[in-house]
Each structure stands twice: as C-alpha cells, then as structure tokens.
Structure 1
C-alpha cells in the first residue's frame, strides 16, 4: 500500500459514521499534517539514498519509529524534528495555515 492509499484508508476509517462533524474534520486535519510530515521525511531520505535504518541511526531513533513517522502514524516532538533535520542534512520548514500544512526539508548548501 502506498502513502496515498494508506492516507485515504485512514481518513475513511476516521470518518465512518461521523461525516462532516467538527471532530472528524479536526481528525482529518491532524492526519493530513502527520502525513505531510511523513512524506517530507520519506522524500528527503530517498533523495539522500539512505535507508530507514540509516536515518534512524543518524537521528537517534529506531527503524520502526522512522517507518511509523513516514506513514504519518506519529507526530514528533520539536527536539526530534531538530534531530531529523540534522540527520537529513537540511533545514525543516513547516507552514501551518487554516488547517493546511506545507512541510519541506531544504538541503543545506554543499
């Protein structure tokens, strides 16, 4: 299952029986933000050509934690975000506005 399929399945499960409620909309926003972060980590990691295990080693995490993060299954703390940015040799930019998020790792200059 790819990231997009997983995200759609998770949102559908969250919305079962509660379509349109504020709680469901809030949950969907949280899921989207976690997914966006996970996708950004995945994109930068694959750009560097490193494995989840290598990223975990660099960031002081375990490989299962990296996997869960990339799938949008967790929201890391600020210190962990800082370690991830350092491990990915990048700056982390996050923009949050009215329920939308943009997450990008910007590679450091060589």
Structure 2
C-alpha cells in the first residue's frame, strides 16, 4: 500500500473512531514502556491474553469502559474532555 493510499484510508475513518484508535495506541505504548506483558495486564483486569491482543490489534473498537479498564490495569485513569469545534 502506498503512503497516499494509507492517508486516504485513514482520513476516511470517522473522528470518534480515530479518538479510540489514538487512546488505544497511547495505552499500548504505556504498556510497553512499563514492561507489562499482555498476560500480566490481562490478569490484572480480568481478561484473557487473547482478548488484550485483540484490543491492541483493534479487531473491534473498544468501549470507553474497556479503555478505562485497560488504563486502570496500568495505573492510569482515562480522562475524556471537550474542546470547541
């Protein structure tokens, strides 16, 4: 896939889905930074490792509740805010 095709496909993603993708990317990066395995995180948040893997691969969009659960497992709190459009 060319860069222009990738940019076009990304720009077609609805804004609310981009928000979730961005949050999930930050959570994934934080998990790696803290050197926490998928299995360790899964145990902390009451999931199975394959479920965490599916979240990280964005096989489906996680709910805010699930994002918060993941964040709490890393000692973080999900904060959603409002900004003018």
Q: Residue deviations 1:31-58, cap 9 Å, x none?
A: 4233212211211101211111111111
Judging by fraction of residues, say which structure has more strand.
1
Q: Name structure 2 gaps, 5 residues minimum.
A: none
How many residue pairs match? The answer is 80
How well do the aligned residues superpose, as a CA RMSD in angstroms? 3.0
Structure 1 runs of 4+ with >3 Å offset: 94-99
The aligned counterpart of 2:20 is: 34
1:72 has 2:58 as partner:
yes
- Determine the C-alpha separation between the residues in 2 that align with 1:42 and 1:86: 13
1:57 has 2:43 as partner:
yes
Give SS of 1:92's match. Answer: coil
Q: More displaced, 58-67 or 69-78?
A: 69-78
Give the TM-score normalised by structure 2. Answer: 0.66
- Determine the C-alpha separation between the residues in 1 that align with 2:82 and 2:43: 29
Give the TM-score normalised by structure 1. Answer: 0.54
